[in-house]
Amino acid sequence: MTSSRSSFDIVIVGGGLVGMSLAVALAKSPCSVLLLEQNQSAPLHANVLDLRTTGLTRSSEQMFMQAGIWQKIVAAASPIERLDISEQGNFGGARIDANQHGISPIGYMVPNHHLIETLSEQVAQLNNIKILSPASLDSAEANSSGYEVKVNHNGEQLTFTTSLLVGSDGGNSKVRSMLGIGAEHKSYQQSAIITNVRTQKPHKNVAYERFTQHGPLAVLPIQDDYCALIWTQSEDSVDGYLQMDDQQFLQSLQKAFGYRLGKFLEVGKRSAYPLALTKSNALVGAHAVLIGNAAQTVHPVAAQGFNLGLRDVHTLVQMLTNIDFNPAHFESMLNEYQQKRAPDRDHVIKLTDGLTRVFAQQAWPAKMLRSIGVRMISSLPTVQRGVLRRNLGLRYFMDHTKTEDHG
């Protein structure tokens, strides 16, 4: 595509995981697409202890299969075959083996840099997509057929027109505010400490979710004997955990997690992400749509944010295909898109927000209910299947006719 072009059918603002996935999913469309990313991408080749990973559901696997890049992604993925759910201070726990339910693996852990590299390589090969980076959106002015978009590219101002403006520009979406769409914002007053650890015993592809008095702690299988750690802490204690030396940190982790994986032997660089729920009041405007974190940013407790964003992408591309990418039908299509995405979005928001609240309460009735809940998961196959289905993410991905089969 020539760089002098100034009109694009679709302008995607934000080349994070969701924006890039949309560009890849539009490969077979007849549309010209401009992808704007404010950061110069610099793939990170990190030591395994410092790799950042993302949990992918089976719905995301399906989507990447359709886009023809799953084989590349899965080459670096670690499957999750079992879930181990427990609560600090409550004896016992629940272990769910996906093999026993005929739906293994439950999902995959994939290094972020591998996802980004695979998506970037794919986008670079597509003739209908142009990437501009570093390029940040300055303004978007509506006209009768879409938008005139002004972009800052290396200090130079460029102008483009488009029939569809997509905001995949994250939780603080500029597109969302330019469209005049408000958002509900709730801080959890917690931060997630992210790092990787090496364990004495092999993880055997088990994902551990442990609820502690401060918040959830996830230990997730990645390559060899390494695990990814997402440890939620209250805002006022997070700095202390970041400043500890490695031995002190490993001891605190050991105390919270126990010895299911033997001793924690090594830890990588630690970083912290403040946790908040941001829910856009609308998903669409005239000739415009919000997807991924720009539409909803959820607590990472159930590893759902990116997977949910990918289902935004899947539905949007399906609906654009149904109207032959004809801008004359955008308005009705976008309204339908908003309605179609509502149940999945509400479900994930309720799930992540609910888990965070239920497990934060320390009063004895809440503790007792949690203990009963964990025991039900442990002993009832139907409850186990419900938990598995929630983790597969297929319910809102398949056609409605197939929904019942896949949960």
- What does the binding site for ligand FAD look like in residue numbers (CB under 6 A)? 13-19, 36-39, 54-55, 136-137, 168-170, 174, 192, 194, 230, 273, 292-293, 300, 303-307, 309
Q: Which residue lies nearer to ligand FAD by CB, 110 or 250?
A: 110
Closest separation in Å from C-beta 258 to ligand FAD: 22
Q: Which residue lies nearer to ligand FAD by CB, 186 or 263?
A: 186
The first and second tokens of residue 220, run together, are 């997730």
Closest separation in Å from C-beta 138 to ligand FAD: 8
Q: Which residue lies nearer to ligand FAD by CB, 51 or 230?
A: 230
Closest separation in Å from C-beta 42 to ligand FAD: 12
Closest CA to 64 of 405, 393, 330: 393
State the number of CA atoms in the 13 A half-sphere of 104 facing the CB.
16
d(C-alpha 196, C-alpha 362), whole Å = 28
Ranked by CB distance to ligand FAD, the top (closest) residue is 16
The first and second tokens of residue 47, run together, are 């030591």
Q: Which residue lies nearer to ligand FAD by CB, 262 or 389?
A: 389
Closest separation in Å from C-beta 290 to ligand FAD: 9
Closest separation in Å from C-beta 102 to ligand FAD: 24
314 Rama sector, left if φ>0, alpha if ψ -120 to 50, beta otherwise: alpha
Closest separation in Å from C-beta 239 to ligand FAD: 17
Question: How many helices (H) and strands (E) would you count in the chain?
Answer: 12, 20
Closest separation in Å from C-beta 214 to ligand FAD: 15
Q: Which residue lies nearer to ligand FAD by CB, 29 or 139?
A: 139
Closest separation in Å from C-beta 164 to ligand FAD: 16
From residue 338, alpha-carbon distances to 6, 16, 83, 167, 207 in Å are 29, 22, 33, 14, 33
Q: Which residue lies nearer to ligand FAD by CB, 250 or 348?
A: 348
Tokens 């890049």 identify what position? Answer: 69
Q: Which residue lies nearer to ligand FAD by CB, 85 or 303?
A: 303
From residue 46, alpha-carbon distances to 43, 50, 53, 74 in Å are 9, 6, 11, 19
Q: Which residue lies nearer to ligand FAD by CB, 113 or 367?
A: 113
**Other C-beta atoms within 10 Å of 372: how many?**
10
Q: How do the residues of the chain divide into helix, strand and coil, expressed in percent and rounded to 5?
A: 40, 30, 30
**Other C-beta atoms within 10 Å of 245: how many?**
8
